[in-house]
Amino acid sequence: MANPAGEAARPTILRTPLGRVRGSGSAKSGTHHWWMQRVTSIALLPLTIWFIVALATSAGMTHAEAVAWIGHPFNAVLLLALIGLTFHHAAAGLQVVLEDYAKPEWVKITSVLAVKAVCTLLALAAALAVIRLAV
Amino acid sequence: MSIQDAREATMLGRRTDGTPVRRPLSPHLQVYDMMQMSSAISITHRATGIIWTGGAAVMVWWLVAAASGPEAFDRVQWFLGSFLGIIMLMGLTAAAWFHTLSGLRHLVWDAGHGYDIPTMYKSGHAVLIGTAVLTALTWLALLLSW
């Protein structure tokens, strides 16, 4: 299809000339971030509903009751899954918000790295607490 | 079209007739009417996601306190049972249910369904009503078990 000026349509090519010569394609990870956000959200659906229902039906737990509940193998395994998936999903989501709105570039990169660090440390702290009570 | 920064450069493309086009960036926060069903729920989905991350931090506090011992645990339970704590937990419950239901709506969209405007408005209302109902039910269950 030609435009009125008679210029042929040229698609925008973002690959470098060297990359084209070497025939190296994409890293095959283009949709990985987006896809993992969906996979973790599906896994979090039942886990989160389980956690909210469990807490809502046992308000005002004593320390001994809480320790027993967290330390029960069934609950501990689900809690570990919940912790890992929650912070993976949270870090991925916050990253996208920052990528959209944080400016300038150094603020964007620094804040994304900070979010990843905080989410990783929170997840590790929570997992350690569960494991201490479960084993 | 002038390029202002590196990000701008990745937004430049051409239509099939060869004319240049600047692809849309993320929604601008000032130029649109944000109170439409589409944009209002979209921005609230992000906001509730951020709020829920704060809620996840409270969950970490609760778990770590339980592992630390009775004193630390009593402090968390005291805070969560205080006026401020209950208001915060109610907000978190509403944010969690909103993000869950709105997230389900996104998964349905990802599967390729519900994109037409009437369905979009219906599912949007369903998210709002569902959030109110499920938040109320959660707190009813909580009060009954207290």
Residues of A in contact with B66 (CB under 8 A): 63, 66-67, 70, 129, 133
| B15-37 tens-digit pLDDT | 888 888 877 666 666 666 767 78
CA distance A22 to chain B (A): 22
Residue A1's pLDDT is: 45
- Predicted local distance difference test score (pLDDT) of residue A20: 73
Residue of A nearest to B146 (CA): A59
Judge whether B12 is closer than 8 Å to chain A, CB to CB.
Answer: yes
Q: Which of B11, B38, B45 is nearest to A41 (CA)?
A: B45
Domain contains A53: yes
pLDDT at A91: 97
Residue A43 reports pLDDT greater than 60: yes
- Chain A residues with CB under 8 Å of B107 CB are 38, 41-42
For chain B, the structural domain boundaries read: 36-145
Q: Considering only CB atoms, which chain A residues are within 8 Å of B110?
A: 38
Confirm whether A6 is domain-assigned. no
| Residue A9 within any structural domain of the chain | no
- Say whether pLDDT at A117 is over 70: yes
CATH architecture group of domain B36-145: Up-down Bundle (1.20)
**pLDDT of A7:** 55
Burial class of residue B58 in the structure, from the number of CB atoms within 10 Å of its CB (0-12 exposed, 13-18 middle, 19+ buried): middle
**Residue B50: which residues within 8 A CB-CB, separation 6 or more?**
A94, A97
A104: cis peptide before it, omega within 30°? yes
Q: Which residues of chain B have pLDDT under 70?
A: 1-11, 24-32, 34
Closest CA to B144 of A59, A61, A66: A59
**Residue A63 distance to chain B (closest CA, Å):** 6
Q: What is the pLDDT of residues A80-98, one digit of tens each?
A: 999 999 999 999 999 999 9
Task: Kindly list the residues from chain A whose CB atom is less than 8 angstroms away from the CB atom of residue B28.
Answer: none
Among all residues of chain B, which has the CA nearest to that of A79?
Answer: B63
Average pLDDT of chain A, as a whole number:
88
Which tokens belong to A21? Answer: 């010569």
CB distance A130–B67 less than 8 Å? yes
* A24 found inside a domain: no
Task: Give all strands (DSSP E) within chain B, no chain letters.
Answer: 12-14, 20-22
Domain count for chain A: 1
Verify whether the Cβ–Cβ distance A122 to B17 is below 8 Å: no
What is the model's pLDDT at position A10?
67
Instruction: For residue A80, give the CATH number of its domain.
Output: 1.20.1300.10
Q: What is the DSSP letter of B22?
A: E
Residue B17: what pLDDT?
A: 84
Percentage above 90 pLDDT, chain A:
66
DSSP state of B23: -
The answer for B 68-127 residues in CB contact with A (under 8 A) is 68-70, 73-74, 77, 81, 93, 96, 100, 103-104, 106-107, 110
Q: Does residue A41 form part of some domain?
A: yes
What is the residue range of A41's domain?
31-134
DSSP helix/strand/coil, B103: helix
pLDDT at B124: 94
Burial, A32: exposed, middle or buried (Cβ in 10 Å; 0-12, 13-18, 19+)? exposed
Please indicate whether, in this complex, the C-beta atoms of B50 and A61 are within 8 angstroms of each other. Answer: no
User: What band does A123 get if pLDDT is binned at 50, 70 and 90?
Assistant: very high
C-alpha B63 chain-centroid distance? 24
> How far apart are the C-alpha atoms of B134 and B137, rounded to whole Å?
5
Tens digits of per-residue pLDDT, A96-107?
999 988 889 999
Whether B49 and chain A come into contact, CB under 8 Å, resolves to yes
- Complex ipTM > 0.90: no
A12 domain-assigned: no
* Contact across the interface for A70 and B56, Cβ inside 8 Å: no
